């Protein structure tokens, strides 16, 4: 009896230690996230204030509240430069790259999750490898390939690269599709639906939370991408927003307000998307992580 009591007390003590460690870990993560969020909000607010300041206010202080508000910087950015064209180029690449990547990765993930074929495990490993290899390693062969194809300095070349970046979304879709009961497809096939119709009519709509989550992650990556456009798009007609902002940054002392205004304009679409689909994002992360 004495031995059993000692064992029970040891177990309770171990559970209390683990519970205490868990609380410390959660508090530490919460504090770090609060600090990070506070810094991000502070930087955004300062950028917004600087975008509506006069030049004299900017020269006095970057973090002070503006004494007078002016939207002259926004007017110059939107109407006196080619910023609208840059915005359109980024929009084309983001929308096209996101839609193409989601459809392609979902179809590929469904094939891996539902069908048996030779090289299936190798293909899954290849997708993992695609997430581990940085894009900087492959930029030289990509550059030469696009040059031979005549797609260098063209939006279509970068668009194909964005569509081809399916590794992460394909893995998430694959885990989600494995959780779906096969009876859904079997009943549809009994009604005369072929595989493509089953996928687009039944499976694809069910994956809406995962689609929204992966689409937003992909869209943010395409919208904020600077490296690929810098290397592959040297033409002024194909300049994206990130390259346009970089040109302002290169002459920051001359275009201080314009730089801040350009950054705020670039942030607006991403912020709107995030708040519009925040609920679906949480559902998608749960579907892809907890069920998988």
φ and ψ of 79, to 5 deg: -115, -20
Element (H or E) spanning 75, and its range? Answer: helix 72-75
Report CA-CA distances (Å) from 227 to 46, 101, 135, 158. 26, 19, 9, 11
The pTM of this model reads: 0.80
> Got the DSSP string for 185-229?
HHHHHHTT--HHHHIIIIIHHHTHHHHHHHHHHHHHHHHH--HHH
Triad 176, 178, 182: Cα angle to 5°: 120
Crossing angle between the packed helical segments 83-114 and 120-132, to the nearest 10 degrees: 150
Three-state SS annotation for 151-194: CCCCHHHHHHHHHHCCHHHHHHHHHHHHCCCCHHHHHHHHCCCC
Structure-token match 């683990």, residue found: 18
48, 85, 42: which is closest to 257 by C-alpha?
48
Element (H or E) spanning 41, and its range? Answer: helix 2-51
What CA–CA distance (Å, rounded) separates 162 from 229? 11
Tokens representing 93 are: 């690449």
pLDDT at 9: 54
57, 69, 291: which is closest to 175 by C-alpha?
291
Report CA-CA distances (Å) from 190 to 183, 186, 187, 202. 10, 6, 5, 14
Radius of gyration of the CA atoms of the chain, in A:
25
- How far out from the chain centre does Cα 3 lie? 56
DSSP label at residue 66: P
pLDDT at 247: 74
pLDDT at 105: 93
What CA–CA distance (Å, rounded) separates 101 from 134? 18
Structure-token match 């998307």, residue found: 273
| Tens digit of pLDDT at every position of the chain (292 positions) | 554 554 555 555 555 555 677 788 788 888 998 998 899 889 888 888 888 888 788 777 777 788 888 888 888 888 877 888 888 999 999 999 999 999 999 999 998 888 888 888 888 888 888 788 888 888 888 899 999 998 889 999 999 999 988 888 999 899 888 888 888 778 777 777 777 888 888 888 888 888 988 998 899 899 989 889 988 987 878 889 888 888 777 665 667 788 888 888 888 888 888 777 766 666 655 554 444 4
What CA–CA distance (Å, rounded) separates 101 from 123? 17
């Amino acid at each position: 009896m004495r031995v059993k009591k000692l064992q029970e007390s040891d177990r309770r003590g171990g559970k209390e230690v683990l519970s205490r460690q868990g609380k410390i870990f959660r508090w530490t993560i919460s504090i770090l996230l609060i600090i990070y969020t506070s810094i991000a909000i502070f930087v955004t607010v300062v950028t917004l204030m600087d975008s509506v300041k006069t030049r004299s206010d900017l020269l006095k202080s970057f973090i002070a509240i503006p004494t007078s508000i002016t939207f002259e910087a926004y007017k110059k950015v939107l109407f006196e430069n080619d910023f609208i064209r840059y915005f359109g180029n980024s929009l084309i690449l983001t929308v096209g790259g996101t839609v193409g990547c989601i459809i392609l990765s979902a179809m590929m993930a469904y094939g891996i999750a539902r069908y048996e074929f030779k090289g299936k495990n190798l293909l899954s490993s290849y997708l993992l490898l695609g997430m581990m290899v940085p894009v900087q390693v492959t930029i030289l062969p990509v550059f030469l390939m696009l040059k031979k194809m005549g797609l260098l300095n063209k939006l279509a070349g970068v668009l194909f690269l964005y569509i081809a970046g399916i590794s992460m979304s394909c893995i998430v879709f694959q885990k989600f599709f494995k959780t779906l009961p096969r009876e859904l497809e079997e009943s549809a096939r009994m009604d005369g639906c072929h595989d493509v119709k089953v996928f687009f009519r039944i499976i694809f709509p069910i994956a809406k939370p995962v689609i929204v989550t992966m689409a937003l992650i992909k869209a943010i990556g395409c919208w904020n991408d600077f490296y690929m456009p810098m290397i592959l798009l040297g033409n002024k007609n194909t300049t994206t927003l990130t390259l346009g902002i970089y040109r302002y940054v290169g002459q920051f002392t001359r275009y201080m307000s314009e730089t801040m205004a350009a950054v705020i304009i670039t942030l607006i679409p991403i912020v709107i998307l995030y708040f519009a689909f925040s609920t679906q994002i949480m559902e998608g992360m749960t579907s892809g992580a907890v069920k998988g």
